[in-house]
Structure 1
Amino acid sequence: MILEIRTYRLLPGTGAEFVRVMAEESVPLLEAAGIRVVDHGASLVAEDGHEEAYLIRAFDSVEQHRAQEEAFYGSDVWRRGPREAIVSRIDSMHSIVIEVPDHAVDAFKRS
């Protein structure tokens, strides 16, 4: 199983709205596109005074990760949907993609 952990450093004062848009608009679209969202939300700690958020997603392979990302982020549903509300609040973003055992993905899920 491939796990992607994506972190977002947000522009000042945008954290609550970023997390809301992610939860109410972006994540449902990701899941409808077949992308497995494991968890998402606000960081418990702000670094250097910046609000931060995260998105954890799971894929069967690196190839699936690449294909699903290209299809989703190139789609009209994303570009005409919450894209601007998400992107306009991001100062910077970082992703890591790692291989983990299947049970590790379940460990990240919220109850």
Structure 2
Amino acid sequence: MVLEIRTYRLKPGTRAEFVRVMREQSVPLLRRHDIDVVDCGASLVDEDGHEEAYLIRAFASLEAHRAQEEAFYASAEWQQGPREAIVSRIDSYHTIVIEASEEAVRALRR
């Protein structure tokens, strides 16, 4: 499996709404596009005083990761849906993609 871990550095005062929109709108939409959301939420610790959040997703392979992400982000549901509410609150983000066992993914799942 491939595990994607994305961290978001957010604009000041936007984390609570960012996490709400992510959980209530983005995650259900990702799941409708067959993207496995393992977990998401607010960071317990903020780096350099910046509010932060995270998203963890699992994919069957690196090729599936690329294809599913491209299809999702190009979709009208994302573009006309929660995209602006999410993107407008992000200062920057960082993503790592690693190989992981199914057991590791299960251990991270909430």
Counting matched residue pairs gives: 110
Match of 2:87 in 1: 87
CA RMSD of aligned residues (A): 0.4
2 CA distance for matches of 1:28 and 1:61?
Answer: 21
| TM-score (norm: length of structure 1) | 0.98
Match of 1:43 in 2: 43
By how many angstroms is 1:99 displaced? 0.2
AA in 1 matched with 2:63: E
AA in 2 matched with 1:16: A
AA in 2 matched with 1:91: D
Where does 1:1-111 land on structure 2 (aligned, <5 Å)? 1-110=1-110
The runs of 4+ residues in structure 1 deviating greater than 4 Å are: none
2 CA distance for matches of 1:65 and 1:47?
Answer: 28
Using the aligned pairs only, state the percent identity. Answer: 74
| TM-score (norm: length of structure 2) | 0.99
Specify every segment of 5 or more residues in structure 1 that has no aligned partner in the other structure, as ranges: none
1 CA distance for matches of 2:83 and 2:50?
Answer: 21
2 CA distance for matches of 1:82 and 1:102?
Answer: 29
1 CA distance for matches of 2:37 and 2:43?
Answer: 17
Partner secondary structure for residue 34 of structure 2 = coil
By how many angstroms is 1:69 displaced? 0.2
AA in 1 matched with 2:83: R
By how many angstroms is 1:101 displaced? 1.1
Specify every segment of 5 or more residues in structure 2 that has no aligned partner in the other structure, as ranges: none
